């Protein structure tokens, strides 16, 4: 797909700051979140992001999506603490459930997703990144879930972090509110790559380009199977794998891949 299409999502209300925009080029979508220098996670930002996710979920021309924080100092420094006072007694209705829905929608996008983290990802910001399939972190950036320092809790992040790093490391991060540097984040498995000689976004673009060259039907099914391996019983996950394999053998992409291999040429996948 050539050319770029940008669809800005405006700030819903002056008092509910936050925006998001999407650019699609060559089968790769870039989602930029924006809310001041710290990219605070507000209701406005989440609503804008969710509208983009709803559209993106139905697109079969996108083979990989990158989430990034634009030119802000932080990928996202987390929730806007100023919101807490006004939602104290009805947080479930005004924050928790809606935020959880957006995080789930991000995690459920059918195509592979990458978080490009060029500034601190803390609290709700790291929770956004944890909902992506892969994370690329700039070498001099820290990440963490420091909610306990304020007496708070990263609910969604606690679960997703544990699945990445295991219970012992997740507990250490959650109980202390520690913010870990890029090397430790890579060693622990919080991130997949550390960008040393370029920005995280540049490295994420290279990774997205590699993913976009591969079979899109295969990658979407692989994403489903990895999720199934964590959520279902072994027998249930293996049954789903059998169905997925049949889908692949029925696809035109596999035929194209096999023909290209035998002809010693680059395959041209159509996503069918």
Q: What is the CATH number of the domain that holds 233?
A: 1.10.12
Say if residue 152 is in the same domain as residue 18.
yes
* Cα–Cα distance, 89 to 33 (Å, whole number): 28
Say if residue 221 is in the same domain as residue 179.
no
pTM metric for this prediction? 0.88
Confidence check: pLDDT of 5 > 50: no
pLDDT band, very low/low/confident/very high, at 150 (cuts 50, 70, 90): confident
Active-site annotation holds for 32: no
Please tell me the predicted confidence (pLDDT) of residue 6: 52
Say if residue 149 is in the same domain as residue 185.
yes
Please tell me the predicted confidence (pLDDT) of residue 191: 97
**Last residue within a domain, chosen from 175, 198, 213:** 213
Q: Active-site residue among 30, 32, 99, 127?
A: 127
Please tell me the predicted confidence (pLDDT) of residue 255: 84
Q: Active-site residue among 30, 32, 99, 147?
A: 147
Say if residue 138 is in the same domain as residue 225.
no
| CA–CA distances in Å: residue 139 to residues 115, 130, 181, 238 | 14, 18, 8, 38
Q: Which long-range contacts (CB under 8 A, 24 or more apart) does 104-109 make?
A: 104/131, 105/50, 105/53, 105/54, 105/57, 106/49, 106/53, 106/67, 106/131, 106/132, 107/131, 107/132, 107/160, 108/57, 109/53, 109/56, 109/57, 109/65
Mean pLDDT of 164-176: 96
Active-site annotation holds for 147: yes
pLDDT, tens digit, for every residue of 61-106? 999 999 999 999 999 998 777 766 666 566 555 566 778 899 999 9
**In-domain check, residue 28:** yes
**Between residues 163 and 260, the one the model is more confident about:** 163
Mean pLDDT of 30-54: 93
Say if residue 18 is in the same domain as residue 102.
yes
Say if residue 80 is in the same domain as residue 201.
yes
**Between residues 159 and 260, the one the model is more confident about:** 159
pLDDT, tens digit, for every residue of 233-250? 888 888 888 898 888 888
The domain in which residue 61 lies consists of 5-213
**In-domain check, residue 72:** yes
**In-domain check, residue 272:** no
Counted domains in the chain: 2
Say if residue 158 is in the same domain as residue 195.
yes
Q: What is the CATH number of the domain that holds 150?
A: 3.90.226.10
């Amino acid at each position: 797909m050539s050319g770029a299409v940008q669809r800005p999502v405006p700030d819903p209300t002056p008092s509910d700051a936050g925006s998001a925009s999407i650019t699609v080029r060559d089968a790769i979508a870039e989602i930029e979140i924006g809310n001041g220098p710290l990219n605070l996670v507000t209701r406005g930002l989440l609503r804008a992001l969710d509208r983009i996710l709803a559209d993106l979920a139905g697109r079969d021309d996108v083979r990989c999506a990158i989430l990034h924080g634009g030119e802000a100092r932080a990928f996202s420094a987390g929730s806007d603490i100023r919101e807490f006072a006004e939602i104290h007694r009805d947080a479930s209705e005004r924050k928790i459930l809606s935020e959880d829905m957006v995080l789930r929608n991000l995690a459920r996008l059918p195509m592979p997703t990458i978080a490009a983290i060029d500034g601190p990802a803390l609290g709700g910001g790291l929770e956004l990144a944890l909902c992506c399939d892969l994370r690329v972190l700039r070498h001099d950036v820290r990440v963490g879930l420091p909610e306990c320092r304020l007496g708070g809790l990263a609910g969604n992040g606690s679960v997703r972090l544990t699945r990445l790093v295991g219970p012992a490391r997740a507990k250490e991060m959650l109980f202390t509110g520690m913010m870990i540097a890029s090397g430790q984040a890579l060693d622990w498995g919080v991130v997949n790559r550390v960008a040393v000689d370029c920005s995280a976004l540049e490295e994420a673009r290279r990774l997205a380009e590699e993913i976009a060259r591969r079979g899109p039907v295969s990658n979407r099914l692989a994403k489903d199977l990895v999720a199934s391996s964590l959520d279902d019983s072994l027998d249930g996950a293996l049954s789903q794998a059998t169905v997925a394999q049949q889908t692949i053998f029925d696809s035109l992409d596999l035929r194209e891949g096999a023909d290209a291999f035998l002809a010693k040429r680059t395959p041209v996948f159509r996503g069918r």
